[in-house]
Amino acid sequence: MFAANFDYYRPATVAEAVQLLSTKENAKILAGGHSLIPAMKYRLAQPSALIDIGRIPELSGIRVEGGKLRIGAMTTHAAIAASADVKAHCPLLAEAADKIGDQMVRNRGTIGGAIVHADPAADYPPNLLALGGSVTAVGPNGSRTIDFAGFWTDLFTTALAPNEIVTEVTVNGYGKGTGGAYADLQHPASGYIVVGASAVVTVANGVCSKVSLVIGGATPNPVRASAAEAALTGKAPTAENIAAAAALAANGISNPIGDSFASGDYRVHLAKVLAKRALTQAAARAQ
């Protein structure tokens, strides 16, 4: 629990942060620090330099633009969970943020830090992927947007270049006629998900006109349950139809993660059970 030596920088602007990240050897961005600092204390991470982006004002805050939420990368989970804008335009995201860790973690941890860490057991990725949206990243050559669908590329790995910083997360909102729900089973020690299912369902004229279902925790990155989505789309959200669709929820999962707490087979089973629960609740909320 004693980190190795490192240099500490606290830039005032994103440009300065990008400049430091590009020039300092073996540098890491420090956001909320809730994953990086423990890794450093175990000496699993030994960055030579930390670039603390905690005092760059434009990185925090939540705006609504054209039905989308634009959330600064340094916005805390607690702020997202409590935000009236998030609750109004994307209640599922507020619910997911409120499930992360405990109150102390939510007060310090940030959405940017969480999604860049790309932990397979994190709460945001399956929910963001189900909701749809993108990540804005700034590097030496300017800014670009990366769709959530292409952002998480492997275990603890994202599409970010080594010298890019996430500045904003854009999430699609939803309104009347659409419901979102997140069902998960948490590890009793870490509080991370073993498996989580995130569903966004639009119901029109008594049928599911649009279904988005993503499973997290079972694989290195969240997986869209396309077969289940297709099975429910165009159908009435009855218990039978939802159960039939949920039975397909793990079709996209190959080589599921297994450990001493939950085997791969059990995770596959959970994916189907939790998908059913998330779809049921989402459909109910849509009506």
Partner 1 sequence: MAKVIGQAIKRKEDPRLITGEAKFLDDIQLPNMAYVAILRSPYAHARIKSIDTSKAAALPGVIGVFTGKDFMDINPLPCAWQAGGVKNNVNTPRVLEPEKVTFTGAGVACVVAESRYIAEDALALIEVDWEPLPVVVDAKKATEPGAPQIHENAPNNIVMEWECGDAAAVEKAFAEAEIVIKQPLINQRLIPTPMETRGCAAMYLPYTDEYTVWITSQAPHVHRLLMTAFVFGIPETKMRVISPQVGGGFGAKIFMYPEYPLVAALAKKVGRPVKWQETRSENYRATTHGRDHITELEVAAKKDGTVTALRVHTYANLGGVLSTVAPGIPTTLYGRLLSGAYHIPHIYCKVWGVYTNTGMVDAYRGAGRPEATYVVERAMDLVARETGLDPAEVRRRNFIRPEEFPYAPADNILAGLKYDSGNYEPALNRALELAGYDEFRKQQAEARKQGRLLGVGLSSYIEICGIAPSAWIGLPNQGWGAGLWESANVRVHLTGKVVVTTGSQNHGQGHETTIAQVVAEELGVSVDDVIVQHSDTLGTPFGYGTYGSRSAAVGTVAVYNSLQRIKEKARKLAAHLLEAAEEDIVYEDGKLFVKGSPDKAKTIQEIAAAAAIGYSLPKGMEPFLDDTAYYDPPNCTFPFGTHVCMVEVDPETGAVQILKYVAVDDVGNVINPMIVDGQIHGGIVQGVGQALTEGAIYDENGQLLTGTMTEYAIPKASLMPKIIQDRTVTPTPVNPLGIKGAGEAGTIAATPAVVNAVVDALSHLGVKHIDMPLTPQRVWAAMQRN
Cβ of residue 234: shortest distance to partner 1, in angstroms?
26
From 4, 15, 149, 239, residue interacting with partner 1 (rule: CB under 8 A): 4
**124-153: contacts with partner 1 (CB under 8 A):** none
Residue 37 in the binding site for partner 1 (CB under 8 A)? no
Residue 207 in the binding site for partner 1 (CB under 8 A)? no
Cβ of residue 260: shortest distance to partner 1, in angstroms?
5
User: Are 8 and 23 a contacting pair, CB within 8 Å?
Assistant: no
From 24, 187, 210, 224, residue interacting with partner 1 (rule: CB under 8 A): 187
Neighbouring C-alpha atoms within 13 Å toward the C-beta of 192:
16
Cβ of residue 228: shortest distance to partner 1, in angstroms?
16
**Which one, of 119, 91, 88, lies nearest residue 105 by Cα?**
119
- Strands laid side by side in the 193-204 sheet: 178-186, 193-204, 207-216, 223-224
Q: How many residues bind partner 1 (CB under 8 A)?
A: 24
Q: How many residues are given for the chain?
A: 287
Sign of the C-alpha dihedral computed for residues 156, 252, 174 and 196 taken in this order: negative
Per CB under 8 A, the segment of 60-68, 172-180, 185-193, 232-240 that binds partner 1 is 185-193
Cβ of residue 113: shortest distance to partner 1, in angstroms?
17
Residue 1 in the binding site for partner 1 (CB under 8 A)? yes
Q: Which residues, in sequence order, are CB contacts of 263 under 8 Å at separation 6+?
A: none
From 188, 205, 240, 255, residue interacting with partner 1 (rule: CB under 8 A): 188
Residue 42 in the binding site for partner 1 (CB under 8 A)? yes
Question: For strand 49-52 and strand 7-9, is the pairing parallel, antiparallel, or unpaired?
Answer: parallel
Residue 44 in the binding site for partner 1 (CB under 8 A)? no
User: Are 112 and 166 a contacting pair, CB within 8 Å?
Assistant: yes
**244-283: contacts with partner 1 (CB under 8 A):** 259-263, 266, 269-270, 273-274
Type of residue numbered 74: M
Cβ of residue 120: shortest distance to partner 1, in angstroms?
14
**Which one, of 46, 127, 56, lies nearest residue 93 by Cα?**
127
Local structure of 279: helix, strand or coil: helix
Type of residue numbered 257: I
Compare residues 68 and 276 and give the one whose CB is closer to partner 1: 276
Compare residues 77 and 89 and give the one whose CB is closer to partner 1: 77
Q: Considering all CA atoms of the chain, what is the largest pairwise distance in Å, rounded to the nearest integer?
A: 62
Residues that bind partner 1 (CB under 8 A): 1-5, 42-43, 185, 187-190, 192, 194, 259-263, 266, 269-270, 273-274
